[in-house]
Chain A
């Protein structure tokens, strides 16, 4: 093989990239009113980066939507606004005002909080704008019911998922036809693994929130998880104290529900190294996933959680 051929040969990451771009272009070409969900995490950052590439030199022909629970890390919100400004993309924010007024919060309301501020909020946002297709950064390697979901996943008028009756999806022939009121969730990163995400972030030099990198942060040990005291809404319980520890986050969500891991990994290579040798899956740091047992994610998804 000569040098030219080698350069042109497609590797694993190229293949995943091309697949994601193909999917995004199909949606842009065939769906009436698409939106890309943006959660500020590493997967969203990769998805956004791919969208910028897919349509270049045009900007992505759809807006981005962040469903804000108002409990995100402060740094995430700063990063979101900075990213939107730098790239010149339209970033919509949606907050469930009703839930906010009722004072729904992660400390007192448990799984009702996730339902009201995330699942219901998302449905309200999609209904408000009338989006017919929404990209999400979900990956099949994350969780067992995700592993069963199609790339194009259909939702009824009430945003419900029917896992027992998914539309067949053959080759690259995506059937995007829906009836009035129905919508599609599209997962262009379906076939990526956590390792692929990190290697792609490195290869493409994609900016990510610095919470992914280890540094000394104020944390509290609660129910076996290290929770960061990101603002003074975190009330200390008896026997708890705030300590400074070198930590980083493997996934990002609402700060009271996201466990930190003790780590010294402050550079990308170190994070990749740690991730590859990890013996726990990334979802162990998500407190909401363990709420309800093995099938909790499927239940939430059936009800409209992304």
Chain B
């Protein structure tokens, strides 16, 4: 078998057919035993599908589930085809059982999210996609199910496909596949559907057999949380744990966190076998050359920058029936550390439907919140995106012992007073002289389709040709990197602009001429940007009128917005505030591109200075 084991979950709204989908897959691929098949056929006879096989009965194993015809808890199924071994966690669709869905998601590396072709993307679809993303899933398959109920209509599928792409644009993912299926009829489950010849790609099972889910191959340093100290007699002292990242060899030096003491590895046991080196995933016992104080909860590391601190920002999923208010104290488990912790501050909760940040004082069951957590003493951790073992956490109720929340560390927090601004000996002026230019930020604002990007590009080429050192910031390079965690809510848009302004300022400080091209529709946000950037801020208003922009509609966005499919679209459903005193104005509907660039260069002359 060439492909690695695939752990995946199925999720989606109630009655989207999750259990049926997996049941049918197992049945078709001949992956159930004869006695299970007999029982299934027998159970189906008394069921509601008129004696037709009800594939969901293969998975819904609890009495209450069979009685109510719903899935309450995650069911794990194990199967292998010739190409790959699978573990699938079939998760419940009811909102009430969201936490059980999250249990499945924390276990999986890929999610198959079902949507009902007759209903499209629902709130629960959005919730599940969001939770999958929170729990660390980076590979997604959307199975658009019940295609039989919409006559296998291609247009219907394409519409839902668009909805899904809009939804997923918010998340950080590595792969996304959207497949039209019918779980009851078996279309595109194990075999290509003859009724949807318009869908040219592989059926679901084949896709799952082939999809590559290994993590991005960057080299990481070694880290291992210590689970226990093994001391059978005077002569042996070993530290037992599972390697979280990287590799380690006998003779190498490790650092013990949080004490930062160093010691050399004198022996490694993989289980009961002595080895020279070991790597990520193995359960090992490590011996060191010096007697330093190490206990459960410490982390051994090499070439790995771990955070030690008592405060961090985390995204959490609240799972308790009782609500969460700031100031509540818990047991926090992270890695192998168990420590007293307090939720200091609930920054906001996420609206599952829109992704908007909503300010609130209390968090209720199944809500996702962003908050600040402080611990009783310093702990060792990392951001979740870097290390799942050291970046994940649970909060345990001190009285009921319930696992009240699970969460991921987004970033460490340090108290402001520890930060000082470093005065640098090499100044901006010295850099400008070296580069032979004045560093300014040319801030282009205007409607979508006004021609900002085209203009910025052409201008940058001219400046470059003139020997200037420039940098262009636009939606693409900023939204995909620096600001990829930001959505399109008002608050996120403000933060988006703030970060761009800060980045521009740093580049100006480095002596560069910066060109930015963002709609930046609000006077307020442009004023903020100007405050950050200072005197180097040059505001360029690309004043192409709305009628012209809408006529051009290069990306088809105006059309979508007019049909109400895009919320908060500037000029249509959200306002654009014209600059009151722009430094330069240019209208691309009145001049050719070359003329526009000339207008800009003329206007910029006094800012660029004589060089």
Contacts and interface: CB of A to CB of B under 8 A. Distances in A.
Contact of A163 (B64, B87, B396): B64
Interface in A224-282: 278-281
Interface string A26-48: 10111000000000000000000
Interface stretch (B180-188, B387-395, B532-540): B387-395
B43 interface: yes
Interface string A131-154: 000000000110111111010000
Contacts of B396: 175, 177
Contacts of A15: 5, 281
A3 interface: no
Given A56-B272, A58-B232, A178 B401 contact: yes
B100 A168 contact: yes
A11 B114 CA distance: 30
Contacts of B228: 25, 28-29
Contacts of A280: 33-35
A146 B401 CA distance: 23
B236 interface: yes
B77 A167 contact: no
Contacts of A29: 227-228, 296, 336
A175 B241 CA distance: 17
A101 B85 CA distance: 49
Given A170-B106, A280-B34, A55 B230 contact: yes
B310 interface: no
A283 B33 CA distance: 11
Contacts of A164: 62, 64, 72-73
Interface in B295-353: 296, 319, 331, 333-334, 336, 338
Contacts of B62: 144-145, 148, 163-164, 298
A134 B320 CA distance: 26
A38 B72 CA distance: 31
A26 B225 CA distance: 12
Interface in A173-188: 173, 175, 177-179
A169 B107 CA distance: 9
B49 interface: no
B333 A168 contact: no
Most buried by A among B59, B319, B336: B336
Most buried by B among A167, A193, A278: A167
A166 interface: yes
Interface stretch (A16-24, A62-70, A120-128, A207-215): A16-24
B282 A25 contact: no
Interface residues of A, number: 60
Interface string B380-413: 0000000011001110100001110010000000
B559 to A, nearest CB: 43
Interface in A189-224: 190-191, 193, 195
B279 A175 contact: no
B489 interface: no
Chain B interface size, under 10 / 10 to 19 / 20 to 34 / 35 or more: 35 or more
Interface in B9-48: 33-36, 39, 43
Interface string B280-298: 1111010000000000100
Contact of A18 (B107, B269, B281, B285): B281
B271 interface: yes
A167 to B, nearest CB: 5
B8 to A, nearest CB: 14
Contacts of B74: 148
A217 B404 CA distance: 55
B102 interface: yes
Contacts of A76: none
Interface in B109-143: 135
Given A54-B283, A280-B34, A170 B102 contact: yes
A102 interface: no
B403 A168 contact: yes
Nearest to B338: A30
Contacts of B331: 177
A282 B23 CA distance: 20
A281 B403 contact: no
Contact of B227 (A25, A58, A147): A25
B247 interface: yes
A71 to B, nearest CB: 25
B75 A17 contact: no
B78 A193 contact: yes
B422 interface: no
Contacts of A172: 242, 389
A14 B281 contact: yes
A179 B401 contact: yes
Nearest to B90: A147
B247 A58 contact: no
A295 interface: yes
Contacts of A179: 401
A57 to B, nearest CB: 5
A140 B231 contact: no
A12 interface: yes
A18 B63 contact: no
A295 B63 contact: yes
Nearest to A196: B78
Nearest to A182: B401
B436 interface: no
A294 B78 contact: no
Nearest to A10: B281
A2 interface: no
Most buried by B among A17, A140, A147, A284: A147
A190 to B, nearest CB: 8
Contacts of B85: 12
B277 interface: yes
Contact of A294 (B43, B73, B100, B240): B43
B100 A281 contact: no
Contacts of B282: 10, 14, 18
A26 B240 CA distance: 10
Nearest to B398: A177
A171 interface: yes
B103 interface: yes
Interface in B72-99: 72-78, 80, 85, 87, 99
B78 A170 contact: no
Nearest to A190: B76
B231 A58 contact: yes
A173 B393 contact: yes
A279 B269 contact: no
Contact of B76 (A8, A26, A52, A191): A191
Interface in B125-163: 135
Most buried by A among B231, B272, B278: B272
A140 B78 contact: yes
19 contacts: A8-B279, A10-B282, A12-B5, A12-B85, A14-B282, A25-B240, A54-B240, A56-B230, A144-B61, A147-B75, A148-B76, A150-B103, A169-B106, A175-B333, A175-B394, A177-B396, A193-B78, A281-B33, A281-B35
Q: Which 6 A-B pairs have the closest CB atoms?
A: A144-B61, A53-B271, A58-B232, A21-B283, A56-B272, A281-B33
Interface of B: 4-5, 33-36, 39, 43, 59, 61-64, 66, 72-78, 80, 85, 87, 99-100, 102-103, 106-107, 135, 227-228, 230-232, 236, 238, 240-242, 247, 269, 271-272, 277-283, 285, 296, 319, 331, 333-334, 336, 338, 388-389, 392-394, 396, 401-403, 406
Given A26-B336, A54-B240, 4 more contacts: A56-B285, A57-B236, A57-B272, A299-B63
